[in-house]
Amino acid sequence: MTQIEIKPPKRRSGRPVVPTRPRGTQADAAADAVGFLRRLGFAVMVALLPIAAVIMRHAVVVVAPVGAILFSMAMLIESEGREPFRRMWQLLRKPAAGLLLFLLFWAALSLLWTPFFDDAWERLFKATGVGLFAFVTLASMPARMRASNLYLTPLGAGVGALSAIIWVMTVPNAQTAIDGEGPVLVRTALSVTLLAWPGLAWLLMRSERAFAIVLAAVAVAAALVTEPRGAVLALSAGAVVFGACVLAPRLTIQAVQWLLMLAIMAAPVLPFVIAPLARTLFGADSSAWQPWEIWRDSVLAEPLRLLTGHGLDTALRSQLAGLLATGAPQSVLFEVWYELGLLGAVPLALLVALAVRSAAQFGEGIAPCLLGAIVNLFAFACVGLVGSQTWWLTLIAVLSIAFTAVIHGRFGTRRPKAFVSR
């Protein structure tokens, strides 16, 4: 009988041998890079920007393009450079893209008769850059955004609002700080309050009502503490429309659509109505109607300019150069008619109407917030001179990107809550 000797296994001295995991494939590495770049780019735009706007002078203009580049690189890697170009073509076929391209073309054509060609050309170049990065970012938006990425939107808005409150309460000259493009607090308040709208939409869509109330309270507190009157009035208008849309969405959307369109198209008639009304109410010595009288005199002096406008970047610089009386209305309504005329006001009115009508396509969580954000933007543009300033256009671009991301995230599913039974 053959005996089999069983020997014990040999033990190796030193560290024990740990089995190694197989290395991931190239596709897995690309997927990880795509997820990281997309989250980082989105975080830069919606989470870092509201915080940086409080402490950095040109945060809106500098931070947003960096986030857009990172976000777009994710789609380039994911689709091997093919998908963004197909989506760009799809975006170009939309009515809003056609209106924007015509508005850009007409602004460029107005350089032929503007008296401030160099400054107007620089502003047009910056506005084109803002539109380009927004266009590429929207074309790079995935079909479904991850919920973990979208929670960065309310987080950034909330932390930004708290940072604004702390900054105002700790910095001695915060209320009077001014740079080359106006008061710093105006940009701070608008960056925080406007980016709170998509965050609020995401929280309401996910039924996180308690966190939505906290975010709204912090954003309102930041607007009140920073104290720019225009920002507070604009936020109030947006809040009123938000409440009305919750109660009667269809009626509110139709009313806001026609009201904003009528406000833009009938703007040249306003000085002929408001000036006599102000004279009757406030008396002959009041200066309340002076901006409207300047606008009325401008229309009467050059009625043909209602069609073509005076050229890009002339509303403010004409006052500084003495070509227009100082004290003209600080409103986008005056600026678009004075600079671009009827051919600039019509596409703007149609763009606003399309944006308002698009709110009807979304659910009860997104539509009121989107409508409130549009009215908030429009109201401030009517009471503050922002027009085609680069930071203002960049903020609009980031707001549209954030809302588009929230819309692309509404198809996600919620995980059921786990309950522990004892």
3-state secondary structure 152-179: HHHHHHHHHHHHHHHHHHHCCCHHHCEE
Sequence-distant (6+) residues with CB within 8 A of 77 are 30, 33, 34, 37
Residue 349 and residue 277: Cα distance in Å, rounded?
A: 26
For the chain, what is the radius of gyration of the CA atoms?
A: 26
Place of tokens 């008296």: 115
**CA count, 13 A, side-chain hemisphere, 280:** 5
pTM: 0.85
- Residue type for 194, please? L
- Strand 182-183, strand 178-179: pairing: antiparallel
CA distance to 268, 315, 324, per residue, from 320 (Å): 22, 9, 8
From first to last of its 422 residues, what are the pLDDT tens digits of the chain?
Answer: 455 555 555 555 554 444 444 445 555 677 778 888 899 999 999 999 888 887 776 778 888 889 999 998 888 887 765 666 777 778 888 888 899 999 999 999 999 999 888 889 998 999 999 989 899 899 888 888 888 899 999 999 999 889 888 888 887 665 555 554 455 677 777 888 899 999 999 999 988 989 999 999 999 998 888 766 778 888 999 999 999 999 988 899 999 999 999 999 999 998 888 777 777 766 655 566 788 888 888 898 888 899 999 999 898 888 888 888 888 888 889 999 999 999 999 999 999 999 999 888 887 788 999 999 999 999 988 886 565 678 888 899 999 999 999 999 876 544 444 433 33
Sequence-distant (6+) residues with CB within 8 A of 38 are 70, 71, 74, 75, 142, 149
- Nearest-10 Cα torsion for 369, 374, 377, 380: -100
Sequence-distant (6+) residues with CB within 8 A of 12 are none
Q: Please check whether residue 113 is in contact with residue 311, taking contact to mean a CB–CB distance below 8 angstroms.
A: yes
- Per-domain residue ranges of the chain: 27-267+340-408
Structure tokens at 173: 């000259």
Place of tokens 């960056």: 191
**CA count, 13 A, side-chain hemisphere, 7:** 3
Q: Please check whether residue 137 is in contact with residue 27, taking contact to mean a CB–CB distance below 8 angstroms.
A: no
